[in-house]
Chain A
Amino acid sequence: MAKITPNEIKILSKYIYDISGIALDQSKTYLFETRFGKLIEAEGLANYSELYSKAKSEPRKTLEKKIIDAITTNETLFFRDTGPFELLRHKILPEVIDAGTAKSSKLLPTAIKIWSSACSTGQELFSIAIIIKELLGDLKKYNIKLLGTDISDAAIAQASYGAYNKFEIERGLARDKLQKYFTLTNGNWKIRDEIRAMVNFKKLNLMLPFGALGKFDIIFCRNVAIYFNLNDRKKLFNKLADSLAPNGFLIIGSTESLTGVCPRFVPKRHLKSIFYQVR
């Protein structure tokens, strides 16, 4: 496998930052080699400089997409970290529904908009959809929009297809939920149509403007900003604050903090979990 030189690390890190906002630790040589070594061989390239030149020169950006797929971390589980989902079920959804029902006329269904902003392969958004289905039952009375976005094409493709192998499915998902909401198809577990139909996925780079998506009642932005530098984190959470509907809720990763990042958000506690609202 080709060895990466310090200069190549510098060039490649800058390139990855420009296309994804991901700030890589330049001291981690192994990270570049394990993530891109196979790609270099598969593309028939000699070294990392060639990888960079080819990616830059391709008008259709095929290699750029592969680089993003390789560098993004898709560590995700169904109901990863139970806290936020309990929070959603017992506190946030009931509040959003109450407020929405009070606001909407009797003729129109209550609108609820939720965004999983770094949805990876879709587990977070499907977990949210399952909770909504269990909590609300008949969805006809509601106009529910569930959106999942991610920067990785490969992740979005898998999320859209909604199938998971047994290693992806096993942890986090209780057996009764697995049987109820998934079917075994070609050796993989595929989300049932009734849940799949509730959600939409699309590719999105959080570094770019996303105001056009409109306002959301609830935004999940968990464990993605950790890969950004402080300045980009500040910009991101400011944009997220703009994208929240009045009294909307933001949920971030359990080890993330907005202190010194975005003073517009106030942390609030419900039982063991924290959520944020705009001051």
Chain B
Amino acid sequence: MGSLKILAVDDDPVTRMLIKKKLIKEDYEIEIAENGVKAIELINNTFFDVVLTDLMMPGGVDGIGVLEAVKKKNSQTEVILITGFASVENAIEAMKKGAADYLQKPINFDELFLRLQKIENLIKLAKNAGDLREAMSVTEDNAGHTIQNLELKVGELQNQLYEIEDILLKYDLDPQDRIESALKTIGA
């Protein structure tokens, strides 16, 4: 059961249709693109949780091009590359550029669903951490506001006390005058 929004990019119509069918069956929200150029158009207009893209594609923009466009648009989108046996090295290079994972052709769908599940769990964990930070930040802001106001008030009162001390220590003056002038500093 998936709750991810996924874009699948492949120049082969049969693979595209197969991916779409399988993912819809698992309740994922899926869009497809037949090449890198179309994929980038979609990526620029919509947010996807995951982009699943073929590594080798004709038409100027290959899987790496799609990956780079995704990461430029939104680093929260995860990219899984689909690669032929011969291009595993390239896939590893792609992972260094920020791809989350790669799958070898022919696609083993059980494996794909496991990877997607892993990404979904990570997204949930990140959201939990984000929510906690947000809650902490709101609490911190509120507490900070109160504490800082108290801190300033205490600072003010401390200064008044120093002033009163100075006046009261002026032994050359009459005690009554000292008391009166000390009281004046606090408006009494």
Contact = CB atoms under 8 A, between A and B. Distances in A.
B152 A267 contact: yes
B76 A166 contact: yes
A267 B152 CA distance: 6
Interface stretch (A48-56, A114-122, A258-266): A258-266
B155 A267 contact: yes
B31 to A, nearest CB: 23
A101 B155 CA distance: 31
A177 B81 CA distance: 28
B169 interface: no
B147 interface: yes
Interface stretch (A4-12, A19-27, A233-241, A249-257): A249-257
Interface residues of B, number: 26
A277 B72 CA distance: 43
B151 A259 contact: yes
B151 A184 contact: no
Nearest to A265: B155
B98 A266 contact: no
A147 B39 CA distance: 45
B176 interface: no
Interface string B138-167: 001101100110111011001100000000
B98 A255 contact: no
B140 A263 contact: no
A170 B150 CA distance: 33
B143 A274 contact: no
Nearest to A166: B75
B147 A254 contact: yes
A184 B71 contact: yes
Nearest to B132: A75
14 contacts: A77-B133, A81-B137, A170-B76, A171-B130, A253-B144, A254-B141, A255-B143, A256-B147, A257-B147, A259-B151, A259-B154, A267-B155, A274-B151, A274-B152
Contacts of A184: 71, 97-98
Given A255-B143, A257-B151, A171 B98 contact: no
A166 B125 CA distance: 13
A266 B143 CA distance: 20
A257 B155 CA distance: 11
Interface string B72-103: 00011000000000000000000111110000
A254 B140 CA distance: 7
A186 interface: yes
B129 interface: yes
A269 interface: yes
